[in-house]
Amino acid sequence: MPVMDYLERNARLYGDEVALVELNPAEADSRRLSWKEYSLIESNSFAPYRREITWSVFDEKANRCANMLLQRGVGKGDKVAIIMYNSLEWLPIYFGILKTGAIAVPFNFRYDAEEILYCAELAEVQVIIFGPEFIGRMEAKAERLSKGRLLIYVGDNCPSFAESYHLLAADCPSTKPEVEPLTDEDFGAIYFSSGTTGFPKAILHKHLSLTQAAQMEQQHHRTGREDVFLCIPPLYHTGAKFHWMGSLVAGSKAVLLKGTKPEVILSAVSQEHCTIVWLLVPWAQDILDALDRGELKMSDYELDQWRLMHIGAQPVPPSLIRHWKEYFPHHDYDTNYGLSESTGPGCVHLGLENIRKVGAIGVPGYRWQCRILDEQGREVPQGEVGELCVKGPGVMTCYYNDEKATAQVLKDGWLLTGDMARQDEEGFYYLVDRKKDVIVSGGENIYPVQIEDFLHKCEKVKDVAVIGLPDRRLGEISAAIIEVKEGASCSQEDIENFCLELPRYKRPRKIIFDTVPRNATGKIEKPALRKRYNSENLVAKETQR
Distance between CA atoms of residues 236 and 41, nearest Å: 32
pLDDT average, residue stretch 181-198: 82
Confidence bin at 543 (pLDDT 50/70/90): very low
**Average confidence score pLDDT of the chain:** 89
User: What's the average model confidence in pLDDT over 27-52?
Assistant: 56
What is the H or E stretch that residue 106 is in? strand 103-106
Of residues 17 and 196, more confidently modeled:
17
Higher-scoring residue by pLDDT: 199, 403? 403
Cα separation of 541 and 545, whole Å?
A: 9
| pLDDT surpassing 80 at residue 463 | yes
Over the stretch 242-293, which tens digit does the pLDDT of each residue have? 999 999 999 999 999 999 899 999 999 999 999 999 998 878 988 999 999 9
* Residue pair 386/372 in contact by the 8 Å Cβ criterion: yes
**Per-residue pLDDT reduced to its tens digit, 327-343:** 999 999 999 988 899 99
Catalogue all structural domains in the chain, each as residue range(s) with its CATH number. 438-533 (3.30.300.30)
How sure is the predictor about 200, in pLDDT bands with cuts at 50, 70 and 90? confident
CA-to-CA dists, residue 26 to 39, 259, 438, angstroms:
15, 8, 40
Higher pLDDT residue, 538 or 7? 7
∠ CA 413-414-415, nearest 5°, is 120
Q: pTM for this one?
A: 0.82
Q: How far apart are CA 145 and CA 113, in angstroms?
A: 10
Task: Please give the C-alpha separations between residue 56 and each of 53, 61, 228, in angstroms, as whole numbers.
Answer: 8, 9, 18
Confidence bin at 544 (pLDDT 50/70/90): very low
How far lies 163's CA from each of 65, 151, 177, in Å?
A: 14, 6, 21
Q: Which uninterrupted H or E stretch holds 82? A: strand 79-83
Distance CA 149, CA 255 (A): 33
pLDDT at 60 over 50: yes
Q: What distance in Å separates the CA atoms of residue 119 and residue 516, rounded to the nearest whole number?
A: 27
The pLDDT value given to residue 440: 73
Residue type, 438: V
d(CA 140, CA 144): 9
Does residue 146 carry a pLDDT above 90?
yes
Name every residue whose Cβ is closer than 8 Å to that of residue 439 and which is 6 or more positions away in sequence. Answer: 445, 446, 447, 448, 466, 467, 468, 476, 477, 478
Over residues 25-31, mean pLDDT:
62
Strands (DSSP E) contained in 179-331 are 187-192, 202-206, 228-231, 253-257, 276-279, 308-312
- What is the rounded distance in angstroms from the CA atom of residue 69 to the CA atom of residue 90? 15
What distance in Å separates the CA atoms of residue 297 and residue 490, rounded to the nearest whole number?
Answer: 27
**Which one is predicted more confidently, 61 or 419?**
61
List pLDDT tens digits, range 100-140.
999 999 998 888 898 899 999 999 999 999 999 999 999 99
pLDDT for residue 47: 46
Tell me which of 12-21, 42-51, 266-275, 295-304 is least confident. Answer: 42-51
Looking at residue 237, what is its pLDDT?
86
Most confident of 211-225, 301-315, 432-446, 486-500: 211-225
Mean pLDDT of 531-542: 56
Q: Does residue 42 have a pLDDT over 90?
A: no
pLDDT band at 34 (very low <50, low <70, confident <90, very high): low
**DSSP letter at 236?**
T
